[in-house]
Structure 1
Amino acid sequence: MGTSGADQSGSLDHVGRYEEALARFADGLQELHIDCDAPAFRDIAEKAKNAGRVNLSVSAISEALSGRRLPSIDFTLELVRQLSGNDAVIQQKWRDQWRATKQLQRRAQPTLRERRRAQSARSEISAEEVEDLRTQEIALRREVERLQEEARAASFLISKAHADAERVIASAREEAARILASADKNLLRVRNHAAELLHAADEALGRSLSREEAPIETLRNRSSLRLVLLGPPGAGKGTQAAFLAKYLQVPHISLGDLLRHHIGKQTDLGRYARDRLNRGKLLEDELTLQMVLRRLKNSDAQRGFILDGLPRNVHQAALAADSVQIDTALEIAVPEQETLLRLTNRRVCTRDSSHVYHLIYNPNKSGDTCDICGAPIYLREDDSEGLIRQRLAVYRQLASPVVDFYKERGIVSTISGMGKVHEVTERAIKALAVIA
């Protein structure tokens, strides 16, 4: 009997692993679909049909992305090919993931079949079984009555225990107050440390740039300072955009921030964008540009701005060129290995995602917990090596033509994103001053 219980537990474990693997498989396809600008299912099916390899119906694509079933290996590889191009590395990655999921499916299959048979059998209950259930119900009611009697007899003990519970609660409240006070001190310490780092970065950059002809002042005096930031995931575009916006006195305009603003304010564009994103689709290039152009009409952006997150592709770059002049495209280059090092070592607090650590550059001091609030920290799924390599492949496919687009106009300046933050900022300011 012990062996039977172990077998049953193992079978259920196979089912759980398979269901988790199938969910990860579907999530990966959804991420790939979104990273490739979320083409419509019918467009994917039409391209596959024209290629003449594997038939991808709209309903089958929907089932694969929602995790309702595991598609065939040929279906999977053709879908990945249509989304990310004929990249041998990506194809092999998905072939390996499909085989691993299929193996778990085979192990779970007997249990799944037995479960379906059991569910079918439970739907047919005989009159004799109904009578047995009624007898059991009567017995259970009598047992409940007996337990209620025992509960009433135990009421005195409960009353006595109440006083002890009050003392425990009071002690717990004191401990909670102590922990909260400690957390407040830690938060103040972290904020002070961040302020010290920012001040040190400002001073370091100021000392470095003061040795020359003050390129910051040269850039500040320009009548037009319209910049586009380019670079792979993990290059530090957001960090550099914040520093450059401060030093050059122009606004940092992030596509992600604009989307969150419109969604939070529930504007017409925000409601439309939220609906698109909830359905796994990206905003059309024309509407994305419309949202950015509306922001550029604000008074603070008349002399210049720093665009972060746009353009994502050549079509967006061409559309933007028809409406607004871009003076400089600053490309922050980092080796792929550095991107992997930066992102795979990033850890985020489970309670507050603004509490971010890095195992190498900014390690926490509390083991596997957040220094600020004490909650566990973890590696986000988006920061796993497999997904990062996939994002880099998509970036290379979409961003290289954007860089070439601006190079043809002679306005690209490429700097290294390696080193300390203020060193990268210094390179950026010098490069912008030269290209001006």
Structure 2
Amino acid sequence: MENLTKILPTDDGYDEARIGFQLSHGHRPGLIVDAASIRDVREAVRHAAAHGHGVAVQNTGHGMPIGSDGGVLILTRRMDGVRIDPVARTARIEAGTRWGAVVEAAGEHGLAPLSGSTPHVGAVSYTLGGGIGLLARAYGFAADHLRSVEVVTADGALRTVRPGDDLFWALSGGRGAFGVATAIEVGLVPVAELFGGALYYDAGDVPEVLGTYLEWSRALPDAMTSSVALVPFPDVPGVPEPLRGRHAAHVRIAFTGPAEEGEELVAPLRALPRLVDTLRVLPYTDSATIHNDPPFPMAYHGSHAVLRDLTPTMIRDVLALIGPGSPDPAVMEIRHLGGALSVPADNPVGHRDAAYFFSMISQARLGPVHARFLDVLAPETVGVHLNFLYGENATERNVERAFSPADFARLRELKAVHDPDDLFRYTHRIRPARGQEQE
């Protein structure tokens, strides 16, 4: 351990290293290892195992599952290489790489990864957790395009696993519960540009916009991936003038078909009065402008549900709870699922038959409001998705709800084989079916 970059609770930079993007939740480990290589990761894992410490892993800290208390936190932020094979249409992505770097590198060859909406999110953890991105309805989950994983397991060994290996299956949706992924290889898709952008609507039009969006989304081709968010924009510099201080609906569009067809498809949405309309043909390297997510760290609390269907009554009740004019306004988002997301794949990513994803995010800790939000959605709820479980909602019960019962049982059995002492427990926790279970 003497050659590792170690950060202790008494050291300068400890708080900056442990918190990451998510300011509401943070690890408080006894030791932070700022890894620069696979060797560093292996040494850190061996040290943790030898001393009975749990292991947490962090790149950007967007989806903080639970905090470690006295364990070892491995930072992967310095392991940020990406290599594109344009002939094989693959990318090798190191553990600390963010999506923006992968998008830019792939774009030089007219290719795109199954990236998310935000370029500053870590690509590896996102992919291993499933990944519902900008091209989701056209190409499926990011995990469906995983080709191999280089992973340090609980014994400190480095393994490269591929389809057909039980550990590969577990990692392709089980995220960090089975080891520290130091690199992954993913397939890329031939998307150099798309028809996409954003449509913004004023608060007074929100009920009509959401009703129109719901009906519009029910008959779309798989090439159209879309979502709608309701956002209370602050009245501060940096927010575009038409949106500043408004509670606006934000429809996001990513269509991989011909632009002419895209124009025809969005006509019902454009028939409503708009504050901003940025729909255009854009290179995939500019795709982050569709969602335009804030790049700076913040505190937030989230709840979500994966739904078999969504009804106008549910939307009405959610608007009354957290919409414009409500006592506790919050960000809400509806994502249209289906399409290629419903195609079976040999991994444990669950709820492929779901039609919609519905979430709320609040800066304040509004526990009762989040509970009522989930109660509204309960009649159509089939489960959750792992990548959207963070903070207080990343409970073991919720982790189980991200998978089918059979797949979760298999994950626990594989956990007993590859991590029987539950070393990797400061994550979306999956306890081993047999053997010692650490608290």
Higher Rg: 1
Q: Which has the higher strand share?
A: 2
Same topology, TM > 0.5: no
- Output the TM-score relative to the length of structure 1: 0.24
